[in-house]
């Protein structure tokens, strides 16, 4: 690890972070990893980041070469502070798929910070992030999509939704675009909301107890993050872990 000074709040990518927790692991405890997907190849990765590591700061550098594809699915639960930062560079005609769910209560801080660079033409990226927060938890998604000058026919999508179960929880959602090509399709949306009262009433009025109704709705909300997974076994593992985390919030 280099001797970089510890980030401050003035640094946009660390604006909502738990810097005190970060201080305990910085810099040697930051887990830096490289993932390189060679041209034409397909990789699928899943990550469950849970309380086994109370302060977990991950910094991944990803390259997806021409015609390659990476499917990355993350369940970020954290202990005290859980951060996953992804710096992704896309080659020609490649695809990056990110499906991430974050679930936290207590005073936990979770964040997913992505920088996805479309460096060559015809690449696609799709990021789906769903966050459920209770009590005094903080959940953040900062996602910048950068499209280089030559990267025509880029198709980039970011769908970011957070749900607050208590007014005391905080969600930050910031999808951003930086586009230097003209023939591109970029869609982004971010919402922060609460449990839908009408849906909740509908379920309880048919006999579901409050906890069960909430569980069904939250599970459906989070399931978007894992909907695209080919590996049904891996999907079930992530969903079961997400459900267990929801259970613990109650």
Partner 1 sequence: MAMLNIENLHANVGDKEILKGLTLEVGAGEVHAIMGPNGSGKSTLGYVLAGREGYEATSGSVTFDGKDLLALEPHERAAAGFFLGLQYPVEIPGVSNLNFLRTALNAQRKLRGEPDVSAADFMRLARTEADAFDLTMDHMKRGVNVGFSGGEKKRNEMVQMALLAPKFAVLDETDSGLDIDALKTVAGGINRLRSPERGFLLITHYQRLLDYVKPDKVHVLSGGRIVRSGGPELAHALEREGYGELAA
Which residue ranges make up the site for partner 1 (CB under 8 A)?
197-199, 201-210, 212-213, 216-217, 219-221, 223-224
User: CB-based contacts of 201: which residues, under 8 Å, 6+ apart?
Assistant: none
Q: Show the CA angle centred on residue 92, arms to residues 86 and 96, nearest 5°.
A: 35
Beta carbon nearer to partner 1, 71 or 239:
239
What is the smallest separation between the CB atom of 225 and partner 1, expressed in angstroms?
11
What is the smallest separation between the CB atom of 206 and partner 1, expressed in angstroms?
4
For residue 63, CA distances in Å to 32, 57, 225 come to 14, 20, 22
Nearest to 84 by CA among 125, 44, 131: 131
| 237: helix, strand or coil | helix
What is the smallest separation between the CB atom of 128 and partner 1, expressed in angstroms?
13
Beta carbon nearer to partner 1, 72 or 213:
213
What is the smallest separation between the CB atom of 205 and partner 1, expressed in angstroms?
5
Decide if 110 contacts 138 (C-beta within 8 A): yes
Beta carbon nearer to partner 1, 42 or 199:
199
Decide if 192 contacts 221 (C-beta within 8 A): no
Beta carbon nearer to partner 1, 151 or 160:
160
Beta carbon nearer to partner 1, 44 or 195:
195
What is the smallest separation between the CB atom of 99 and partner 1, expressed in angstroms?
14
Cα radius of gyration (the chain): 18
């Amino acid at each position: 690890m280099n001797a970089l000074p510890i980030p401050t709040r003035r640094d946009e990518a660390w604006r909502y972070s738990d810097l005190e927790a970060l201080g305990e692991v910085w810099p040697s405890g930051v887990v830096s990893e490289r993932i390189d997907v060679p041209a034409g190849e397909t990789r699928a990765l899943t990550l469950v980041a849970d309380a086994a590591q109370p302060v977990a700061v991950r910094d991944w550098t990803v390259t997806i070469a021409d015609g390659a594809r990476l499917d990355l699915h993350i369940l970020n639960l954290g202990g005290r502070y859980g951060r996953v930062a992804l710096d992704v560079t896309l080659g020609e005609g490649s695809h990056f798929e990110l499906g991430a769910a974050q679930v936290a209560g207590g005073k936990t801080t979770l964040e997913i910070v992505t920088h996805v660079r479309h460096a060559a033409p015809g690449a696609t990226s799709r990021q789906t992030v769903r966050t459920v927060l209770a009590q005094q938890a903080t959940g953040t998604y900062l996602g910048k999509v950068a499209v280089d000058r030559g990267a025509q026919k880029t198709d980039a999508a970011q769908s970011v939704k957070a749900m607050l179960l208590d007014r005391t929880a905080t969600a930050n959602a910031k999808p951003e675009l930086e586009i230097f090509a003209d023939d591109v399709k970029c869609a982004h949306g971010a919402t922060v909301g609460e449990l839908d009262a009408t849906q909740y009433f509908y379920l309880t009025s048919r006999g579901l107890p409050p906890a069960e109704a909430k569980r069904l709705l939250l599970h459906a909300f989070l399931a978007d993050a894992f909907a695209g997974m080919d590996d049904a076994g891996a999907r079930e593992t992530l969903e079961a872990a997400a459900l267990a985390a929801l259970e613990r919030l109650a």
